[in-house]
Amino acid sequence: MQKLKDLYTKEYIEKLAFDIGKLYQPFDQRSFKDTIFDPLWKSLELKQRMRHIATTLHIFLPLPYPKQLEILKTISQNYRSLESMFFQDFVGVYGLKNFEESMNALAVFTIDSSSEFAIREFILRYEEQTMEQMKLWAKNPNEHIRRLSSEGCRPRLPWAIALPSFKKDPSKVFEIIELLKNDSSKYVQKSVANNLNDISKDHPKLVIEFVRANLGISKSLDFICKHGSRTLLKKGEIEVLKLFGFETVDCIINNFIVDESISIGDNLFFSFELKTDTKIEKIRIEYMIEYLKSNGKYSKKIFMLHQNKLERGIKIFAKKQSFQDMTTRKHYVGKHFISIVVNGEIKITKEFFVI
């Protein structure tokens, strides 16, 4: 499987150099390529490679910043997706003293890629001015530019630099959300929901208030409310569960069978029966694993099993959970716990050992 950082092939950089050379004749294509693939290149990860390309472009385009942008904006139309984000990175590094030109460039670059990382540099330095620009973008006819106005100010955007002021007080972010909450684009709706989900991790009550005020108005707002509440739902926040109709249910868990012990790299197998004497219109059945950490404490992770209605009677669930080490989670030898959670309520818990 190809790693993301390997998207920048020799052919990719050669094409980039050739395209620039057509617009700017003094561009030294051979030296540019040699500088990109320097002895450190293999050790660089994806974002480091983006930065390396951006800084090398700056060296080989010894022009005033606005002239550099004109060249980059023109050739960027031939480059798309994640790998082309070195264009935006160039703006984030070299454009902070040229606000208007940089805003224009980020709007151009985001259409075929995304400027969500670079815009944060401007939020940190020019918060008021940048957020006013993002309000204008929120009304733009292009869905990619409207999405940028939400995605760029997410307080906890993955892989991105933090926005501490928005973690502390997300009121300016909510101004953007209000402008976009009725957007017809699913692409924009997902960003708004992700923004709400970010906010819920620091200010759950604010997101609960938003859901209470907007749920039931339209299908798109219902999607935003539910997707934006996913962390709160996983945490079993009773107030949120009730807003979505997940009330306390009368059910019994029987025959909860769990492997007593497994090795790191194995699968944990478990099964159980859920018995109910009445039909349940809205039910959310999850399992929660309490993973032992290196410091002896536990971290909880919830996984979905079933979400919909449930007919009267007995339903059998059987599942396996991988204990293969991943980049995002490392497993440790010792006692762990698994629980069955129904509409936010822990119904039964068992221990098992990783050996």
DSSP for 136-185 reads: HHTT-SSHHHHHHHHHTT-TT-TTS---HHHHH-THHHHHHHHHHTT-S-
| DSSP-H helix ranges across 113-142 | 118-125, 127-137
pLDDT of 12 reads 95
Closest CA to 282 of 234, 238, 245: 245
Q: Are strands 345-354 and 261-262 parallel, antiparallel or unpaired?
A: parallel
The identity of residue 136, as a single letter, is L
pLDDT of 108 reads 97
Q: Render the burial of 79-96: b for 16+ CB within 10 Å, e for the rest.
A: beeebbbbbbbbbbebbe
- Where are the chain's structural domains? 4-180, 252-354
User: For residue 242, what is the enclosing H or E element?
Assistant: helix 238-243
pLDDT of 166 reads 98
Distance CA 113, CA 145 (A): 10
Whole-prediction pTM value?
Answer: 0.84
pLDDT of 168 reads 97
pLDDT of 235 reads 87
Sheet bearing 252-258, strands edge to edge = 252-258, 267-276, 313-322
Closest CA to 148 of 85, 97, 197, 200: 85
Sheet bearing 298-310, strands edge to edge = 261-262, 345-354, 334-342, 280-292, 298-310
Distance CA 160, CA 152 (A): 9
Distance CA 104, CA 180 (A): 21
DSSP state of 266: S
Residue 152 in contact with residue 116, Cβ under 8 Å?
yes
Q: Which residue has the tokens 């561009």?
A: 27
Distance CA 189, CA 177 (A): 10
Residue 57 in contact with residue 79, Cβ under 8 Å?
no
Distance CA 47, CA 328 (A): 18
Distance CA 82, CA 67 (A): 24
Q: Which CATH superfamily is domain 252-354 in?
A: Immunoglobulins (2.60.40.10)
DSSP state of 293: P
pLDDT of 3 reads 82
Q: What radius of gyration do the chain's Cα atoms show?
A: 25
pLDDT of 247 reads 86
Q: What is the pLDDT along the chain (355 residues), one digit of tens a residue?
A: 678 888 899 999 999 999 999 999 999 999 999 999 999 999 999 999 999 999 999 999 999 999 999 999 999 999 999 899 999 999 999 999 999 999 999 999 999 999 999 999 999 999 999 999 999 999 999 999 999 999 999 999 998 999 999 999 999 999 999 999 999 999 999 999 999 999 999 999 999 999 999 999 999 999 999 999 999 998 888 899 999 988 888 899 999 999 999 999 999 999 999 999 999 989 999 999 999 999 999 999 999 999 888 999 999 999 999 999 988 889 999 999 999 999 999 999 999 999 9
Q: How far is CA 171 from the centre of its chain?
A: 20
How many Cβ atoms are within 10 Å of 35's Cβ, its own excluded? 16
**Sign of the CA dihedral running 42, 44, 45, 51:** negative
The identity of residue 291, as a single letter, is Y
Q: Which residue has the tokens 């497994």?
A: 262
